[in-house]
Structure 1
Amino acid sequence: MENQESPFKAGLNSGLILGIISIVITYIVYFIDPTLLVAWYVGIGILVLYIGLIIYYGIQYRNSIGGFMPFGTAFNFAFIAMVVSGVISMLGSQLLYHVVDPALPGVLIESQMETQMAMLERFGAADSMTSEQIDEIRSNLESGYTIVGQLKAFGIIVIVYAIIALILGAILKKRDKSLDY
């Protein structure tokens, strides 16, 4: 009997690779222009790359276990890969925010505030905002860069990872039709 890799181990290995790639991309973007770290189009681009790599590694794993993979195995692989990658990425971000450049959260908060205020102005809501509301927005943004804020956000992201893993599981599964009666 072949010694097949479990979905947990395959997901762990792929998650480690994805996490390292995520950290490298984050630091490259940081060195190019730190404000790009909060640009929506950069986030979408990274998400597309991330999902593409999970599909690629998932297909590699499926081929390594015989070319067929049930939905449950595909879901487990994708979910574990995303959680491991998320933990590594969060640790890399915390290193960036608190060790490499402790002033970076302030720069990112200012960039986010400018973007949000511009959006509010386009909708005509900026004039009706009180200074307390603006301070509350700033406070919420600041709390997102703390360790506790990052852990809270990660808790929510785990739910999003589960939903994405369901979709990826459906994409990666492949049934052996020769077993049909």
Structure 2
Amino acid sequence: MEEQQSPFQAAIKPGLTIGLVSLALTFIAYFIDSSLLGSAWFGLVAIVVFIVLIMYFGKQYRSELGGFMTFGTAFNFSFIAIVISGLVGLIGQILLFHVIDPSLAGVLADQAFETSLGMMESFGQDPDALDPAVLEEMRASTAKSFTLTGQLMSFGFGLIVYAIIALILAAILKKRDTSLDY
């Protein structure tokens, strides 16, 4: 009889796969047009692909377990796979922003700043009415998020988001064996 893998062991390969797919999407977008990396639709597509792949691998793991999986097992599997995927993506982004194209961070920071100003205008706020010091602080904080420290901090805060996503996915992936009810 084959020994079942723990959620951690089972999540390593899917996490690496999802991370590499995410990295491939990032580099494809970069080579097509680097401004795509700052667009909202690219982020939405990446999240959808990410969630679909976690669901696919989660269902595969559930099948390996005999078709049933507890919420805790589903959460552990999802969270570990997401964290591994995030680490692969973080390494790729660090390479992209600091080795391959160091000027890209500035371009994306400017794009994010302009998007923020556009959102402010759509909500009725006139950016020209803001104090120039406030605008400069917004620009600096946006640029800071693309530094190595900013990327590491974003990953740290992202762990909270990863946990929330894993909770939602665990609720979807869990399946209780009703034949044990009596």
4+ aligned runs moved over 4 Å, structure 1? none
Deviation at 1:2, TM superposition (A): 2.8
Q: What CA deviation, in whole Å up to 9, does each residue of 1:32-53 have, x standing for no partner?
A: 1111111111111110110111
TM-aligned CA deviation for residue 165 of structure 1: 0.6
TM-score by length of 1: 0.96
Deviation at 1:22, TM superposition (A): 0.8
Deviation (angstroms), 1:127: 2.2
TM-score in terms of structure 2 length: 0.96
Which sections of structure 1, spanning at least 5 residues, go unmatched? none
Residue 172 of structure 2 corresponds to 171
Q: Which residue number corresponds to residue 159 of structure 1?
A: 160
The answer for the alignment partner of 2:118 in structure 1 is 118
Distance 1:153 1:176 in 2: 39
CA displacement at 1:147 relative to structure 2: 1.2
CA distance in 1, matches of 2:20, 2:43: 17
Q: Name the residue aligned to 2:62.
A: 62
Name the aligned partner's letter for residue 15 of structure 2. Answer: G
CA distance in 2, matches of 1:75, 1:163: 10
Equivalence for 1:24: 24
Matched length:
181
Identity of aligned residues (%): 50
The aligned counterpart of 1:109 is 109
Taking the aligned partners of 2:114 and 2:72, their CA distance within structure 1 comes to: 44
User: Residue 127 of structure 1 aligns to a residue in which SS?
Assistant: helix
Structure 2: gaps of 5 or more residues: none
Matched with 1:145 is: 146
Deviations 1:52-107 (A, max 9, x none): 11000000011011111111000000000000000110110000001110110111
SS at match of 2:77: helix
After TM superposition, the structure 1 stretch with the greater mean CA deviation from structure 2, 74-83 or 3-12, is: 3-12
Whichever residue aligns with residue 39 of structure 1, its letter is S
Does structure 2 retain, via aligned residues, the 8 Å contact 1:121–1:127? no
Q: Could you tell me whether the CA contact under 8 Å between 2:110 and 2:143 is conserved in 1?
A: no
Cα separation, 2, equivalents of 1:117 and 1:70: 45
